[in-house]
Structure 1
Amino acid sequence: MKKLAILMLALSFAACQSEKKASDQEDSTGLSNLEMNSTSNLAFKYDSLKIFSKPNPAAKTKSTDTTYVRIVYPSFPNQKLNQLLEQKTIAAIQNPDDKKVETYQQVADAFIKDYENLRDTEGTVAAWFLDAETKVLTDQPDYIGLEYSLVNYAGGAHPNSNMIYWNLNPKTLQEITLESLINEGSMPQLVTIAEKIFRKNEKLSPTASLKDTYFFENDKFNLNRNFTITKEGLKFLYNPYEIKAYAYGSTELIIPFSDLKTIARPNTLLSPTK
């Protein structure tokens, strides 16, 4: 009888452990769309908006190829941060002459309306699309690194694409600029370091001309301000058409932290002790 009691107790304990493990797995699955960094205490989830145009009443076929807008964005507990990201996203999507709007929904509605107005005026028009997504690359107590990407088509020979890095201080919601990370007056040195890496990546000699293949102003290498901070170093991105023809796509350039030791400001994201 004593052995039976011990056996029943052991089985009961095993069942509890199994139930706890299953419960833990369910919780983990339930939080699959929630990202959390334990070092920053920043929690966020990805929200999205997707709408489609109405079917073309004049179409002779039953094609389901309709214009659509898809916007994916992170949502933080800090509403001011969310509002800032929404403003930056809208500014990145809109053209300077577009009617100003304030929400993701208004952006999507305006895009769909423009397409439907053109379609109703000119008849059959190839479907448009607008696909925008903002990803959180890094979330630390003093740094949020975001990657905004846009691929869209509103007529023409081909779709357009663009990627922008946003660097923010989550406490102040201020932009982290390149100048705030390096010593005053050291920009020329940074450009020199970057050009050496660029020429190596492009298989160019130190004296090779940039005139025929690249679009740098005055045929002189220069850095843009489209950067993010990765585990490898300071990463820059040139979008299509920015320094090369569209067919070449985007161009990445990473400057290792080891190359930044002499110009990084102390106690910043680029300093060796950070």
Structure 2
Amino acid sequence: MKKLGLFVIAIGFMACQSENKSSNTADTANLATSTDSLTFKYDSVKVYSKTPVSINKTVTDTSKAVISYPLFNDEKINQFIESKIKLTADSGKNYKTYNDYASDFIKGYDDFKKSEKDYPQTWFLDIKAKVVTQKPGYLSLLNTYVNYAGGAHPNSIFTYINYNPVTHQEILLDSLIQPGSMIKLTAIAEKIFRKNEKLSATASLKDGYFFEKDTFKLNDNFTITDQGLMFLYNPYEIKAYVYGTTELVIPFSELKEIAKPNSLLSHTN
């Protein structure tokens, strides 16, 4: 099992301003081209609060919201990605644009500071959607959502987005496996999980894990790698926050009787 560490980044801001602009830095501006002629570049929206964190004029820190995302030459793909990114909003609001999303977060901070003038910290929202796999018939992105609005640490959510750029449909797990095979897939995954965690086949999952009713369960947060079908559990999902994310890979060799023929999980694909 591979664990991704979580790092809290202290961000200092030198100016109080609001902006909505494209990002053209060296690590994001390069065009990426795939065999199915899709191209994309990374773009971003950035909104800063005009409310300083301190009445001391020498302290210029303020809150910031940044949303970075790939912009494809196919508008249908862009619309799908935008809809999935905006689902990570925890306000329950229906944002029309990335800028609306970022601006609402900053508005929340500004409204909070009106009643809590002595509050000493800034807030930040950092959302980054990154293309991890791009091939004919399959596009996978990892959407990283980090939100800090007070408290002991930021809230972090890592979500895979799977899409078929040919049919313009989201790829769901049920579309990749044989009907009625979820129980078998779960059993295979549990064996791998217990091996990774150094647990016996009968060891209870109550101690140190958050599985409901002491029963192992797969989630729907997955991607397809060169090694096989990988699931990702977020902080707090099955373990304490300190353990970060948990990855579980099911090799293609274990999916022979489960994968649908000619699917992304089959060896003949």
TM-score tier, shorter chain, comes to: 0.7 to 0.9
Cα deviation for residue 152 of structure 1 reads 1.0
> What's the TM-score once normalised by structure 2's chain length?
0.86
More relative contact order, 1 or 2 (CA 8 Å, 6+ apart) = 2
For 2:33 and 2:51, how far apart are their aligned partners in 1? 43
Q: What stretches of structure 1 of length at least 5 have no aligned partner? A: 1-28
Is 1:228 aligned to residue 223 of structure 2? yes
Cα deviation for residue 141 of structure 1 reads 1.9
Partner residue, 2:21: none
For 2:67 and 2:216, how far apart are their aligned partners in 1? 34
Is 1:49 aligned to residue 45 of structure 2? yes
Q: Which amino acid aligns with 1:156?
A: G
Q: How many residues align?
A: 244
Cα deviation for residue 56 of structure 1 reads 2.5
Q: What stretches of structure 2 of length at least 5 have no aligned partner? A: 1-24
Partner residue, 1:264: 259
Contact 2:222–2:231 (Cα < 8 Å) also in 1: yes
Q: Which amino acid aligns with 2:117?
A: G
Q: Percent identity?
A: 55
Is 1:130 aligned to residue 119 of structure 2? no
For 1:263 and 1:43, how far apart are their aligned partners in 2? 33
For 2:54 and 2:31, how far apart are their aligned partners in 1? 45
Q: RMSD of the TM alignment (CA)?
A: 1.9
Is 1:145 aligned to residue 140 of structure 2? yes
Partner residue, 2:182: 187
Deviations 1:43-91 (A, max 9, x none): 0000011121114286125223210011110001111221221121111
Partner residue, 1:73: 69
For 1:37 and 1:122, how far apart are their aligned partners in 2? 49
Q: Which amino acid aligns with 1:122?
A: E
Q: Which amino acid aligns with 1:163?
A: F
- Superposed, 1:191-202 pairs within 5 Å as 191-202=186-197
Would the alpha carbon gap of residues 120 and 183 (structure 1) be closer, same or farther in structure 2, given more than 3 Å must change? same
Cα deviation for residue 209 of structure 1 reads 0.4
Contact 1:51–1:70 (Cα < 8 Å) also in 2: yes
For 1:239 and 1:32, how far apart are their aligned partners in 2? 26
Is 1:64 aligned to residue 66 of structure 2? no
Is 1:39 aligned to residue 56 of structure 2? no
SS of match in other structure, 1:137: strand
Question: Runs of at least 4 residues of structure 1 off by over 6 A?
Answer: 29-32
Cα deviation for residue 173 of structure 1 reads 2.0
Moved more, 191-200 or 62-71: 62-71
Give the counterpart of 2:211 among 205, 210, 216.
216
Is 1:119 aligned to residue 119 of structure 2? no
For 1:111 and 1:269, how far apart are their aligned partners in 2? 38
Contact 2:44–2:66 (Cα < 8 Å) also in 1: yes
Partner residue, 2:87: 91
Cα deviation for residue 100 of structure 1 reads 2.3
Partner residue, 1:102: 96
For 2:148 and 2:49, how far apart are their aligned partners in 1? 14
Would the alpha carbon gap of residues 31 and 242 (structure 1) be closer, same or farther in structure 2, given more than 3 Å must change? closer
For 1:171 and 1:257, how far apart are their aligned partners in 2? 24
Contact 1:93–1:150 (Cα < 8 Å) also in 2: no
Deviations 1:159-210 (A, max 9, x none): 1100000111112221111111111111111001100110011111111100
Cα deviation for residue 31 of structure 1 reads 11
Partner residue, 1:168: 163
Moved more, 57-66 or 218-227: 57-66
Contact 2:33–2:40 (Cα < 8 Å) also in 1: no
For 1:93 and 1:258, how far apart are their aligned partners in 2? 37
